[in-house]
Amino acid sequence: MYTVYRAAILGMSFSLALTTSPVTLYGGEDEGMCVEAGVPYYSFQLITTKNILGTGRGRGSVEVTFSDNSPFGISVTSDGSYDYDLKLSLNRIKLRGEGRLVAWVTTRDLSKIRRIGPLDPYYQVNGSVDWNKFLVVVTLESNDGGNSDKWEGPVVFRGMSRSGMMHTMVGHGLLQEENCFAYGYDG
């Protein structure tokens, strides 16, 4: 649905570009562009890999808010990166067998990985991150092997911060349709 809408918008823009006439747009009318309102705007979904029995129908989300200890209304680190609190939750999970689910944050090139921690019995965990673009990964770790700095078990869920959707005009070109599904968004 999204891709169809987006293609229509871009196609319309392209047609207008050919006419060189200015375009009139009104605020709030471009719904359907993967835009959500309010706190959910920076939140994102976790997508199951369907690799582990009992998680194939699972759904997940990460709520992203600014760290609550900032006195400035927005929390950033000394290098200017956003300092976010994360609330991760999964549902529709019926995990069978050994192991526990552990959440991690990582940069998109996987060069840096930080452990958020094991999910509680309600499949929830809170953490934080101070990278502007990041991935959240949930893995299945052995019962006694979940304390390492890097995951060892299979990836069960994964998702990308909304900032990962910031486009490069170098690789894609202005008018190329972007495939949200490829990034794990089904909106």
Partner 1 sequence: MPAMTPSSGWRMIPMDMNMPMLPGLEGAVPSVGAFLPGVGIDLGTIPLARPSAIVKLQRGDTLDLSVSMVRRSIDGTEMLMFGYNGQYPGPLLDAVEGSTVVVRVRNEIQMPTTIHWHGVRLKNQFDGVPGLTQAPIEPGEDFIYEVKVPDAGMFWYHPHVREDVQQDLGLYGNLLVRSPDPEYFGPVHREEILVVDDLLMDGEGLLPWGKESSTHALMGRFGNVMLVNGQTDHQMKTKIGEVIRFYITNVANSRTFNITFGDNRIKLVASDIGRYEREQWTPSVVIAPGERYVVDVQFDKPGETVIANTIQAINHFRGEFYPHVDTLSRVMVSSQINEEDLSDSFELLRENQEMISEIENLERHFNEAPDYELETLVRVKNVPTPIVISMESDTLYVPPMEWNDAMPMMNWLSTGKEVTWILKDKTSGLENGDIHWEFERGDIVKIRIFNSPDSFHPMNHPIHLHGQRFLVLKRDDIKNQNLVWKDTAILPVGSTMDLLVEMSNPGEWMFHCHIAEHLHAGMSFNFTVREY
Through-space distance between the first and last CA atoms of the chain, rounded to whole angstroms = 8
- For the CB of residue 68, give the shortest distance to partner 1 in the complex, in Å: 5
Which one of 122, 175, 181, 186 is in contact with partner 1 (CB under 8 A)?
175
133 class by beta-carbon count within 10 Å (0-12 exposed, 13-18 middle, 19+ buried): middle
Q: How many residues bind partner 1 (CB under 8 A)?
A: 59
Beta bridge partners of 45: 61
How many degrees, rounded to 5, is the angle at CA 114 between CA 57 and CA 50?
15
- For the CB of residue 150, give the shortest distance to partner 1 in the complex, in Å: 24
Rule CB under 8 A: say whether 14 interacts with partner 1. yes
Note whether 124 and 138 are within 8 A (CB). no
Structure tokens at 171: 């690789």
Rule CB under 8 A: say whether 4 interacts with partner 1. no
Rule CB under 8 A: say whether 111 interacts with partner 1. no
Rule CB under 8 A: say whether 1 interacts with partner 1. no
- 3-class state of residue 69 by DSSP: coil
Rule CB under 8 A: say whether 30 interacts with partner 1. yes
Which one of 4, 7, 8, 35 is in contact with partner 1 (CB under 8 A)?
35
- 3-class state of residue 79 by DSSP: coil
Q: What whole-number distance in Å separates Cα of residue 52 and Cα of residue 164?
A: 26
- Of 34, 33, 27, give the one whose Cα is nearest residue 10: 33
Of how many residues is the chain composed? 187
Residues 39-78 that bind partner 1 (CB under 8 A): 39, 41-42, 65-66, 68-74, 76-78
- For the CB of residue 155, give the shortest distance to partner 1 in the complex, in Å: 24
Compare residues 11 and 145 and give the one whose CB is closer to partner 1: 11
Which one of 57, 174, 179, 186 is in contact with partner 1 (CB under 8 A)?
174
Task: Indicate the helix (H) or strand (E) that contains 170.
Answer: helix 169-172
- For the CB of residue 32, give the shortest distance to partner 1 in the complex, in Å: 10
Task: By CB under 8 A, name the binding residues for partner 1.
Answer: 9-10, 13-14, 16-17, 19-28, 30-31, 33-39, 41-42, 65-66, 68-74, 76-82, 132-133, 162-171, 174-175, 178, 180
